[in-house]
């Protein structure tokens, strides 16, 4: 989807026209905060642990700046890359995120820049959003636009002079690019004293190399010992997606909150997906407890197959589990404890938090490729379907000042 | 069709905005009745960093992306 | 299909927006009288302060700009109190516990009244939190200030000085 230049200009002008408001009426900037988070993902022969550092501060009455740094350290490889015999690895991703918020009347402007670097992937994103509180602050309307530029490389292991191995960018793959554009609109409406509903829509378009240099698809090959061979994954050069999401929050009279989220997604790969999430928040003295149940269902991409009939059977081929048909559910629980630090009155509030999520994904048409055993009666395509279990831990400290 | 859907959504958002701006009629939840909505447990961005991490975990494995990120609510002060 | 949903939602929202009654506008006219229970005990009526300049501040413990403003309002009360000026804080919360807990941490010396049923908030057509109303010696509402941003206290002082001189 691309809005024509004229439509975009017209909408921008209409939008700017609604932005004027009496100077004495303003919204509120986000609170000053410092946060540190440690996360740990264990599942699927892959362990990822990481940290996030965040700091946010108001400058004067109209500006707020935020800086955050995210680091992920990945060990292992996800299952489809692993199934093809690719070797396990340890890799670090670093991300810097700088954001600026400007409040003018009832309108909030936000800009942010994200730079993410890993050995074979460099990503830069610029995001711009506007939101406006109106109608006695019962309604918030927002718009966002985002542009991402990615540089993709492929690592290869070569022997060095001492007989050990080093990893360099594969010159035959070279450097590939991917551009992504996001357009989004949102509407949040207070329905009653106890209920608020947020709706939002986002259209995302990717162009360029949107595949993965390491991924391969498999096809039936009677000449091979195990009955199948690998071919390079081939993706379309563009992908456009649409997502419509809703989030309803309801305040329970004994002081607790219910949260219900639903999202419908569809894209030009032919994938349709739905997400449903139910959350419950219960404060108790200095504690706040959260419980979450999430269910996700997706249909496969039209060109996906776990086992193609022969080499080069289609223009686009992919054995990527992420675009196969599957359903997953996760259950999560979080406990937060609020406290004050003695002799530090400049710190308004501090919370210590732990969260655990259990994620189970049942693939409906992705098999365990490394379990093929024709002599043992397991023909290609008869292997068990893959199931992914993951434990996700988060522990974080937040401080408001 | 594809191009008209986002325009319809945008139109809805702008309609709400302009109706609210032009309307002489008043909100049905008064500013002094926002106690529950102002409660931190009703905030969309409570635990923003932790949720951003989880969203990242899901988006790396799922085909679906976008459609989240709610702003608004809260005390509606000033 | 989504087209139709968007259209229905737009019509629904329009209906919701148009189905609401109008709000009172008190500026320029006589200040509506009221009687509310006071923190110090007993009740307080606006009538008691006829002949003085009165500043009413509608606030809540859950409102951040309200909390920021209170110490400044306390300073104004202490400075101008002897000149025929009084400041009344009207707390709009249905229950007193949060307000009292906060006042314990951040004490103020001006009278605090409790408008638990929102009677007075409705009477004055409070358009936002906080709202500050300035009443002259004759009992007329001269200014209604919505919200609080750092620096607004100067506007308050200007108005108070003008009304005291009358």
The distance of A130 to chain C (nearest Cα, Å) reads 21
Per-residue confidence at A86, pLDDT binned at 50, 70, 90?
A: low
C7 touching chain B per CB within 8 A: yes
Average pLDDT over every residue of A108-123: 96
| pLDDT digit string, tens, across residues A339-398 | 989 888 899 899 999 999 999 999 999 999 999 999 999 999 999 999 999 999 999 999
The structural domains of chain A, with segments of one domain joined by +, span 78-400
Cβ contacts (< 8 Å) between A361 and chain B: which residues? 61
- Residue A12: predicted pLDDT: 53
| CATH architecture assigned to A78-400 | Beta Barrel (2.40)
Q: Are strands A272-284 and A287-298 parallel, antiparallel or unpaired?
A: antiparallel
- Residue A164: predicted pLDDT: 84
- The partner residue sitting opposite A24, judged by closest CB among C64, C65, C147, is C147
| pLDDT digit string, tens, across residues A163-202 | 888 889 999 999 999 999 999 999 999 999 999 999 999 9
Specify whether the CB–CB gap between A126 and A147 falls below 8 A. yes
Cβ contacts (< 8 Å) between C17 and chain B: which residues? 16, 19-20, 23, 25
The region of weakest confidence among A82-91, A112-121, A147-156, C86-95 is A82-91
A394 touching chain B per CB within 8 A: yes
**Which of C152, B35, B25, B68 is CA-nearest to residue A142?**
B68
- Residue A75: predicted pLDDT: 83
- Residue A6: predicted pLDDT: 59
Contacts A–C by Cβ distance under 8 A: 20
Residues 118-137 of A with CB under 8 A from C: 135-137
Question: Which own/partner pairs from A222-231 qualify as long-range (CB within 8 Å, at least 24 positions apart)?
Answer: A226/A372, A226/A373, A226/A374, A226/A380, A227/A372, A227/A374, A227/A379, A227/A380, A228/A307, A228/A369, A228/A372, A228/A380, A229/A311, A230/A84, A231/A308, A231/A311, A231/A312, A231/A317
Residues C163 and A367: their CA atoms lie apart, in Å, by 82
- The partner residue sitting opposite B32, judged by closest CB among C3, C19, C126, is C126
Per-residue confidence at A79, pLDDT binned at 50, 70, 90?
A: low
Structure tokens belonging to residue B9: 């959504």
pTM over 0.80: yes
ipTM surpasses 0.95: no
- The partner residue sitting opposite A61, judged by closest CB among C64, C146, C150, is C150
Is a pLDDT exceeding 50 seen at residue A1? no
- Residue C2: predicted pLDDT: 57
Is a pLDDT exceeding 60 seen at residue B21? no
A265/B65 CB distance under 8 A = yes
Average pLDDT over every residue of A283-299: 97
- Residue B26: predicted pLDDT: 74
- Residue A91: predicted pLDDT: 85
C147/A244 CB distance under 8 A = no
B9/C126 CB distance under 8 A = no
- Residue C19: predicted pLDDT: 39
- Domains of chain C (ranges; CATH) run 24-165 (3.40.30.10)
- Residue A61: predicted pLDDT: 87
Which residues of chain C carry a pLDDT beneath 50? 14-22
Average pLDDT over chain A, rounded to whole? 91
- Residue A230: predicted pLDDT: 96
Three-state SS annotation for chain A:
CCCCHHHHHHHHHHHHHCCCCCCCCCCCCCCCEEEEEEEEEEECCEEEEEEEEEEEEEECCCEEEEEEEEEEEEECCCHHHHHCCCCCCEEEEEEEEEEEEEEECCEEEEEEEEEEEECCEEEEEEEEEEEEEECCCCEEEEEEEEEEEEEECCEEEEECCCCCEEEEECCCCCCEEEEEEEEEEEEEEEEECCEEEEEEEEEEEEEECCCCCCCEEEEECCCCCCCEEEEECECCCEEEEEEEEEEEEEEECCCEEEEEEEEEEEECCCCEEEEEEEEEEEEECCEEEEEEEEEEEECCCCCECCCECCCCCCCCEECCHHHCCEEEEEEEEEEEEEECCCCCCCCCEEEEEEEEEEEEEEEEEEECHHHCEHHHCECCCCCCEEEEEEEEEEEEEEEEC
**To probe the interface with B, which of C4, C12, C129 has the most B CB atoms within 10 Å?**
C129
Per-residue confidence at A275, pLDDT binned at 50, 70, 90?
A: very high
B77 touching chain C per CB within 8 A: yes
Cβ contacts (< 8 Å) between C19 and chain A: which residues? none
The distance of A24 to chain C (nearest Cα, Å) reads 7
A103 touching chain B per CB within 8 A: no
* Beta bridge partner(s), residue C91: C59, C114
Q: For chain A, what percent of residues have pLDDT higher than 70?
A: 90
Cβ contacts (< 8 Å) between B5 and chain C: which residues? 2-3, 6
| pLDDT digit string, tens, across residues B25-37 | 678 999 999 999 9
Average pLDDT over chain C, rounded to whole? 87
Is a pLDDT exceeding 90 seen at residue B41? yes
Q: Are strands A349-367 and A326-339 parallel, antiparallel or unpaired?
A: antiparallel
The region of weakest confidence among A209-223, A248-262, A320-334, B64-78 is B64-78
B20 touching chain C per CB within 8 A: yes
C93/B35 CB distance under 8 A = yes
- Residue A136: predicted pLDDT: 87
The distance of A191 to chain C (nearest Cα, Å) reads 10
C149 touching chain A per CB within 8 A: yes
Average pLDDT over every residue of A51-66: 95
- Residue A157: predicted pLDDT: 86
- Residue C83: predicted pLDDT: 87
A158 touching chain C per CB within 8 A: no
Residues 15-74 of B with CB under 8 A from A: 16-18, 20-21, 23, 26-31, 33-37, 39, 41-42, 44-45, 47, 49-50, 53-54, 57-58, 61-74
Q: For chain A, what percent of residues have pLDDT higher than 90?
A: 79
Average pLDDT over chain B, rounded to whole? 81
| pLDDT digit string, tens, across residues C27-40 | 889 999 999 999 99
Is a pLDDT exceeding 50 seen at residue A269? yes
A397 touching chain C per CB within 8 A: no
| pLDDT digit string, tens, across residues A9-56 | 555 554 454 444 444 566 789 999 999 999 999 997 689 999 999 999
Structure tokens belonging to residue A104: 């003018």
- Residue B10: predicted pLDDT: 60
- Residue C14: predicted pLDDT: 46
Average pLDDT over every residue of A210-226: 94
- Residue A219: predicted pLDDT: 97
């Amino acid at each position: 989807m691309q809005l024509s230049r004229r439509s975009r200009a017209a909408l921008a002008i209409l939008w700017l026209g609604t932005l004027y408001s009496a100077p004495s009426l303003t919204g509120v900037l986000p609170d000053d905060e410092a946060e540190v988070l440690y996360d740990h993902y264990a599942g699927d022969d892959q362990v990822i642990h990481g940290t996030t550092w965040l700091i946010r501060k108001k400058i004067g009455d109209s500006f707020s700046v935020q800086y955050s740094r995210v680091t992920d350290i990945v060990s292992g490889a996800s299952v489809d890359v692993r199934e093809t015999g690719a070797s396990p690895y340890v890799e670090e991703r670093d991300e810097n995120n700088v954001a600026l918020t400007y409040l003018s009347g009832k309108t909030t402007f936000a800009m942010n820049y994200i730079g993410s670097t890993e050995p074979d992937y460099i990503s830069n994103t610029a995001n711009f959003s506007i939101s406006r509180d109106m109608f006695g602050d019962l309604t918030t309307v927002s718009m966002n636009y985002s542009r991402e530029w990615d540089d993709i490389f492929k690592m290869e292991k070569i022997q060095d002079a001492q007989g050990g191995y080093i990893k360099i960018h594969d010159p035959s793959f070279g450097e590939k690019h991917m551009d992504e554009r996001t357009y989004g609109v949102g509407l949040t409406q207070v329905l009653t004293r106890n209920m608020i509903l947020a709706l939002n829509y986002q259209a995302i378009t990717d162009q360029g190399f949107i595949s993965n240099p390491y991924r391969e698809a498999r096809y039936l090959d009677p000449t091979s010992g195990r009955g199948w061979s690998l071919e390079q994954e081939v993706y379309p050069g563009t992908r456009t997606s649409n997502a419509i999401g809703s989030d309803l929050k309801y305040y329970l009279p004994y002081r607790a909150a219910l949260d219900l989220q639903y999202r419908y997604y569809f894209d030009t790969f032919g994938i349709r997906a739905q997400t449903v999430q139910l959350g419950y928040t219960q404060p108790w003295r200095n504690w706040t407890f959260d419980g979450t149940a999430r269910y996700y269902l997706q249909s496969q991409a039209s060109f996906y197959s776990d086992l193609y009939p022969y080499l080069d059977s289609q223009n686009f081929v992919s054995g990527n589990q992420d675009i196969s048909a599957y359903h997953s559910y996760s259950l999560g629980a979080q406990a937060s404890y609020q406290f004050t630090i003695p002799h530090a009155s400049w710190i308004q509030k501090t919370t210590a938090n732990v969260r655990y999520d259990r994620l189970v994904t049942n693939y409906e048409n992705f098999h365990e490729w490394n379990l093929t055993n024709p002599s043992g009666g397991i023909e290609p395509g008869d292997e068990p379907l893959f199931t992914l279990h993951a434990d996700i831990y988060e522990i974080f400290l937040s401080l408001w000042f | 069709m594809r191009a008209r859907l986002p325009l319809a959504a945008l139109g809805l958002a702008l309609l709400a905005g302009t109706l609210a701006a032009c309307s002489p009629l008043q909100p049905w939840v008064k500013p002094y009745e926002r106690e529950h909505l102002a409660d931190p447990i009703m905030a969309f961005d409570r635990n923003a960093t932790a949720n951003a991490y989880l969203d990242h975990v899901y988006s790396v494995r799922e085909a679906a992306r976008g459609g989240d990120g709610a702003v608004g609510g809260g005390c509606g002060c000033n | 299909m989504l087209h139709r949903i968007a259209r229905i939602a737009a019509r629904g929202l329009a209906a919701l927006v148009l189905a609401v009654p109008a709000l009172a506008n008190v500026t320029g006219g006589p200040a509506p009288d009221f009687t509310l229970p006071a923190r110090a005990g007993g009740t307080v009526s606006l009538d008691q302060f006829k002949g003085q300049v009165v500043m009413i501040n509608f606030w809540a413990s859950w409102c951040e700009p309200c909390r920021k403003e209170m110490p400044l309002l306390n300073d104004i009360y202490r400075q101008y109190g002897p000149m025929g000026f009084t400041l009344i804080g009207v707390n709009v919360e249905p229950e007193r516990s949060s307000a009292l807990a906060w006042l314990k941490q951040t004490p103020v010396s001006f009278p605090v009244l409790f408008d638990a049923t929102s009677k007075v908030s409705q009477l004055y057509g409070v358009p936002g939190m906080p709202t500050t109303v300035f009443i002259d010696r004759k009992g007329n509402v001269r200014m209604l200030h919505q919200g609080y941003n750092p620096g607004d206290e100067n506007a308050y002082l200007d108005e108070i000085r003008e009304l005291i001189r009358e």
